[in-house]
Structure 1
Amino acid sequence: MNNNESVIEALNISVSYISDAVKTTVLDNFSLSLCAGEVVALVGESGSGKSSAIMAMLGLLPGNASVSGTIRFHGRVFPAGNEAAFHELRGRGAGLVIQEPMASLNPLMKVGVQVMEALDLRSDASRIDKEAKLRDLLSEVGLKDERRITSSYPHQLSGGQIQRIMIGMALAQDPGILIADEPTTALDLTVQRKIINLLMDLRRKRRMAMIVVSHDLSLVSHISDRIIIMRHGKIVESGATKSVISRPSSNYTKTLLESKPGAHAPGTLIPVREDGDSARAERGGIVNGGRIEHRISDDVILRFNDVDVYYRKGFLSVPFRALDGVSLSLRRGETLGVVGESGSGKSTLGKLAIGIVRATRGCVELNGRVVMHADGVRIHETLPSCQMVFQNSSGALNRGLRVGRLLEEPYRVLLGMSASLARKSVIDALEEVGLAPEIAGRFPHQLSGGQRQRVNIARALAGKPSILICDEAVSALDSTVQAGILNLLLRIRASRGLSMIFISHDMDVIRHVSDRIAVMERGRIVEENSANEIFLNPIHPVTINLINSMFRTKDTESFLSVQPLQAVPTLA
């Protein structure tokens, strides 16, 4: 599909910032050549320089950035940092799809108006032509109900629909290059697969060159011709996709591949490498990815009995049923994985367990006692026993308090400890989750995403709960950081005898940690079985679709063999 002529070239691009007289280089001598019809993936973790590279190529870096190097588009030279020159390149030359599509759209304007703004840049087209182009674009990106879509506000559409709108806007001026920056990160698994299929269809139909930015090697191994691995602003490895995936030369590339849960047997520690030199265990763990056994008893610690949960958006609005007749149990020491697409009721189930939401019908039992029903909830019983680790590690912590103060609170409130004893317990808690004592003196914004999530886990464990509920607790983390958090949870589960409800849309993660899995759709449990049976012999079309939507490198494809994709209604 490629030809030998480069559509765009980046030559020795470097980007740095100066703050308080200190120069920080975020991109160091980055070079890239892209041919027509070719897909190149930029892969790396947070801070690797991926986004800085594409923003430099489009002239979209902030004003305080110092940029050097040259961009060539169809042979024409665009000096890095020359904003006026790049204005012509953007739109007609290259279209951009960013990671957070909702943040790119005006929440007060209807979607049709915003897409038309992108088309208005085509000054040579009449209004009638633009309206026809709008209909064609929406159809091309898989949005058939043109009237409803264009008359909707962004919040009235699903995440998959919004991402399709952004792809359509990026294509409005028929660019020769499409740059997609983490285009599927915030989407459900089946929606991710559909968006990737859409991008590949567009590539074939339009013969577009594409740059896909991602932290997920499994995903890009299915769509790219070449892969560039980045770390700390530098290229550490590049080559044909098959070669990079099957015969990686860089230790860092090997680390990224090894850190995927799907590359390891369920329940085992994932080898986490420091600079790719040798496998190291998390503090207190086992070297080289050994299995950590945990005991599961027949005692049911938590039970949902025919539970309904209704939400109202307003006093006169029609109630929305978030949970519909859910009956489910959790045994002592067991990890129950809960999967499903957005709106299936996963998070509502977790919130119900800790008393954040109330059952409209049915009841919840904890240790054989009814602690919640339609008339009320015994929060003084549920709160000490059930604790939650949320997806947004930053939003879950008070930014105005130091970590030590944040961790002291549950010891004092739930366990009634004195201030001095609580402070000592904080140091022990940090040690348990693999953090140094000096972390207690820092504010949340001074920590990395992985460190913040470890603090959240430490806080959840402070009240000595018997049940830990993890709601997308690792979905926002880089792969090596995610591996470290999963290792931590496996160790804590075994050492404390915890029962866990693990909510996620990542099937690899769910398979790695779960003993049993419940699959949800529209507030109902549509399938429930052991983790092995769910993956080896799925029955319900929703389960089959979730498994078939997984992106796997060749090393993990042999783990699963399932049926063809089933037809299931979706909003994407």
Structure 2
Amino acid sequence: MSETPLLSIRDLQIDFPNQSGAVRAVDGVNLDLYQGETLAIVGESGSGKSTTAHAIINLLPGTGKISGGSIVFDGKELVGMSDHELESIRGNQIGFVPQDPMSNLNPVWSIGFQVEEAVRANGIATEKKAVRAAAIDVLRKAGLSDAEARLRQFPHQFSGGMRQRVLIGIGLAANPKLLIADEPTSALDVTVQRTILDHLTELTHQSDTSVILITHDLGLAAERAEKLVVMYRGKVVESGPSLEVLRNPKHPYTKRLVAAAPSLASRRLSSGGSAAVNEFDLSAVAKERIARVKAGETAVSVKDLTKIYAIKGQGFKSTPFTAVDSVSFEIKRGTTLALVGESGSGKSTVAKMLLGLEKPTSGDIVIDGQHVGELKAKALFKLRSKMQPVFQDPYGSLDPLMNIANIIAEPLLTHGIGDRASRNQRVAELLDQVALPAALATRYPNELSGGQRQRVAIARALALKPEIVVLDEAVSALDVLVQAQILELLAGLQAEMGLTYLFITHDLAVVRVIADQVAVMNKGQIVEFGSTDDIFNRPQQDYTRNLLDAIPGAKLLL
């Protein structure tokens, strides 16, 4: 290892000017990264992790600016460097994998066009055939099967995990000296996560590529990074060898992070829940709902559900693709079913059909005794007031032209509930429940971190006090402290209101905490179904065992 760091940051200060002065997002950060090392930066949303990473390549959002300090990369001072000079470093020498896949892929351009654009910009190839071959290689290395056919598809035709893999492939395309990966696996299932991280490790060892890994997953940090930096409120509060920091944390904040990290040893939250449930008095309707829970009623019944898409090919030809293949399950009222599996296994497609956002090719969905496929528009609208979603991609599901208060109040306004004053009061309650300060009510989605946006999405889903909530990767973008708080909140709401959850996730440690039953999906089919304890302790299928074995860092943190 070289005695000179590849990257050296000293006394870094980053400000975001506003009408009342400036908010200091990063305050006096120091860190060193040597060639071939992997450094993980962990901390809660808003702690300054991503802001520090963006400053390295001068891609700070909004009005953000470096107000002090030094960033030296490969002997060159980056602070104050011209845009032209930085353009020659970005991509070629410093690769970047952003956190949010949907907002970083243009929805009107094909995947192939966007990957080929990156190949040309980084000087990997210039001739048409060579560019296309390089683009196929980029997707193949990122773990996408049938890479050549994928080039013709568009971002909306990819799952969240597949979109993230495209960005990872672009970031690695030019074999950079440094790769900055901002939550690179938050949208990935554990098996694909392992494939991608194994690829990053291979680059580190074979090409001496250094990696800055920004993550809220302490297990991943422990398993994949030699060094760990813990950030809190814009400052570095603890740093050192990863396992040493996580096994013997010194700072109170680090101790809280480690204590909140879910693992295979986690037990399901008790039905009593410790979350505070603001203003959720048990009305007659709630009491009736809980009585129905105790009676063991079925809230959701899915039978032989199938969805076949037509994948456009060359010319006017199309190929049928079965995304969901004869799926059947039931969710008892007041319980949680976790739907798990790899990206592209059909989990989110099942959720969309359940919500009436996609029409099944065949099969039947019965919710609260109503056959969804037979409902007219008015009846379906009424049903949706009882069934609310939290989507995987918070940035894509939040209107960028609406402030946070209006976004959360939108379901109340749409369904004609309350007046302006009562809606404002409900918004304030929900912000408090999901641990967001009231001051964020007047801000917009682009001004929030990924974790904060996800909390807004959860608050919006809870606004109508629904009976059924479909949570599609609802806590994947949250740091462990807020994740623990949200999971406790969900458990508390379930106990108080008899809520039913369909919890779609790739994070099996979270499944152990929240779910009563687990359905494992693979290639559009449910391959294993059972209680959470049975699935974790006595898995019957090799596919399920592979999912469990791929959970990062679980044994290291025990």
Match of 2:519, SS state, is strand
Worse-matched range after superposition: 468-477 or 357-366? 357-366
Of 212-221 and 294-303, more deviation after overlay is shown by 294-303
Residue by residue over 1:259-318, the C-alpha shift from the partner in whole angstroms, topping out at 9 and shown as x without a partner, is 223276322279x9xxxxxxxx64359xxxxxxx99654433332222333445799855
Is contact 1:113-1:150 (8 Å) kept? Answer: no
User: Would you say the 8 A contact 2:408–2:460 is kept in 1?
Assistant: no
Counterpart of 1:344, as a letter, is S
5+ residue gaps, structure 2, are 279-289
Once residues 420 and 10 of structure 1 are traced to their aligned partners in structure 2, the CA distance between those partners, rounded to angstroms, is 49
The residue aligned with 1:53 is 52
Q: Within 5 Å, give how 1:85-484 maps onto structure 2.
A: 86=86, 89-90=89-90, 93-100=93-100, 107=109, 110=113, 113-120=116-123, 169-170=170-171, 174-262=175-263, 265-268=266-269, 282-284=275-277, 297-311=295-309, 320-367=321-368, 369=369, 371-373=371-373, 379=380, 382-393=383-394, 396=397, 399=402, 402=406, 405-406=409-410, 408-409=412-413, 412=416, 419=419, 426=426, 430=430, 433=433, 445=445, 448-449=452-453, 452-461=456-465, 465-484=466-485
Question: TM-score of the superposition, structure 1-length normalised?
Answer: 0.77
**CA shift for structure 1 position 236:** 0.7
Q: Does 1:20 align with 2:19?
A: yes
Segments of 5+ residues of structure 1 without an aligned counterpart are 273-280, 286-292, 558-572
Secondary structure of 1:262's aligned partner: coil
CA positional deviation for 1:218? 1.4
| Structure 1 residue 222, shift from structure 2 partner | 0.7
The separation in 1 between residues aligned to 2:473 and 2:455, in whole angstroms, is 16
In structure 2, the CA distance between the partners of 1:317 and 1:207, relative to structure 1 (3 Å rule), is: closer
Separation (CA, whole Å) in 2 of partners of 1:470 and 1:130: 39
| Secondary structure of 1:47 counterpart | coil
Quote the residue 2:281 is aligned against.
none
Name the stretch that deviates more: 160-169 or 223-232: 160-169
SS of 2:266's equivalent in the other structure is coil
1:439–1:495: structure 2 CA closer, same or farther, 3 Å change rule?
A: farther
CA distance in 2, matches of 1:419, 1:158: 38
Q: 1:351-406 CA distances to partner (integer Å, 9 max, x unpaired)? A: 33344444443323345x45234797853774454333334556656626736853
- Of 234-243 and 326-335, more deviation after overlay is shown by 326-335
- TM-score between the two structures when normalised by the length of structure 2: 0.79
Give the drift of 1:91: 5.0
Change (3 A) 1:494 1:118: same
Q: Report the alpha carbon displacement of residue 167 of structure 1 after superposing the two structures with TM.
A: 5.2
The residue type paired with residue 110 of structure 1 is F
Which is worse superposed, 179-188 or 438-447?
438-447
How big is the shift at 1:440? 12
Residues 547 and 296 (structure 1 numbering): CA distance in 2 closer, same or farther, change over 3 Å?
A: farther
Secondary structure of 1:9's counterpart equals: strand
Residue of structure 2 in register with 1:566 after alignment: none
Q: Give CA-to-partner distance per residue, 1:175-204, whole Å, 9 cap, x none.
A: 433332222222232211111010001111
CA contact (8 A) 1:143 1:161 kept: yes
The answer (yes or no) to whether the contact 1:68–1:81 under 8 Å persists in 2 is: no
Q: What SS does the corresponding residue of 2:503 show, helix, strand or coil? A: strand
Give the letter for the 2:179 counterpart. L
In the alignment, residue 218 of structure 1 is paired with which amino acid? G
Higher relative contact order (CA 8 A, sep 6+): 2
* Structure 1 residues 402-449: Cα deviation after superposition (integer angstroms, max 9, x where no partner): 368536447746xxxx75996699489749947899789757759843
Go from structure 1 to structure 2 and tell me whether the alpha carbon gap of 1:85 and 1:299 turns closer, same or farther (over 3 Å shift): closer
What SS does the corresponding residue of 2:44 show, helix, strand or coil?
Answer: coil
Larger deviation: 535-544 or 312-321? 312-321
Contact 1:450 1:482 in 2 (8 A): no
* The 10-residue stretch of structure 1 (378-387 or 23-32) with the greater mean CA deviation from structure 2: 378-387
Please name the residue that 1:512 is paired with.
Answer: 513
Change (3 A) 1:508 1:58: same
SS at match of 1:350: helix
Distance 1:86 1:351, change over 3 A: closer
How far apart in 2 are the matches of 1:46 and 1:437?
13
SS at 2:223 equivalent = coil
Give distance in 2, aligned partners of 1:436 and 1:98.
Answer: 23
2:42·2:228 contact (CA, 8 Å) conserved in 1?
A: yes
Partner of 1:550: 551
Equivalent-residue separation in structure 1 for 2:133 and 2:306 (angstroms):
46
Q: Secondary structure at the match of 2:410?
A: helix
1:46 partner SS? coil
Residue 307 of structure 1 aligns to a residue in which SS?
A: strand
SS of 1:28's equivalent in the other structure is strand
Structure 1 letter corresponding to 2:276:
R
Q: How many angstroms apart in 1 are the aligned matches of 2:148 and 2:398? A: 42
Letter in 2 for 1:114: E
CA distance, structure 2, for counterparts of residue 20 and residue 81 of structure 1: 25
What's 2:39 paired with?
Answer: 40
What is the CA–CA distance in structure 1 between the aligned matches of 2:514 and 2:373, rounded to whole Å? 30
Letter in 2 for 1:68: G
What is the CA distance between 1:531 and its match in structure 2?
Answer: 0.6
Distance (Å, rounded) in 1 between the aligned partners of 2:360 and 2:469 = 20
- Tell me the amino acid that sits aligned with residue 52 of structure 1: T
1:525 counterpart residue number: 526
> Partner of 1:561 in structure 2?
none
Gap change, CA 1:282 and 1:439, over 3 Å in 2: farther
Mapped partners of 1:89, 1:437: distance in 2: 38
Distance 1:131 1:23, change over 3 A: same
- For 2:430 and 2:437, the matched residues in 1 are separated by 6
State the AA in 2 paired with 1:308.
Answer: T
Q: CA deviation at 1:165?
A: 5.8
Q: CA RMSD in A?
A: 4.3
- SS of the aligned residue for 1:363 comes to strand
**Structure 2 counterpart of 1:68:** 68
- Letter in structure 2 aligned against 1:498: L
Cα offsets for 1:33-58 (capped at 9, x unmatched): 22222211112222222223233333
Seq. identity, %: 32
8 Å Cα contact 1:67/1:80 also seen in 2: no
Give the residue type in structure 1 aligned to 2:300: L
Give the drift of 1:210. Answer: 2.2
**In the alignment, which residue of structure 1 is the partner of 2:282?**
none
Corresponding letter in the other structure for 1:452: V
Cα shift at 1:246: 0.2
Give the CA deviation at 1:234: 1.0
After TM superposition, give the deviation of residue 245 of structure 1 in Å: 0.8
Q: CA deviation at 1:225?
A: 0.9
The one-letter amino acid paired with 1:459 is: A
Equivalent residue letter for 2:299? I
Q: Partner amino acid for 1:184?
A: T
In structure 1, how many angstroms separate the alpha carbons of the residues matched to 2:192 and 2:473? 17
Whole-angstrom distance in 2 between the partners of 1:403 and 1:480 = 24
Question: Which residue in 2 is equivalent to 1:565?
Answer: none
Report if the CA contact (8 A) 1:403-1:439 is conserved. Answer: no
Moved more, 199-208 or 402-411: 402-411
The answer to whether the 8 Å contact 1:39/1:223 transfers is: yes
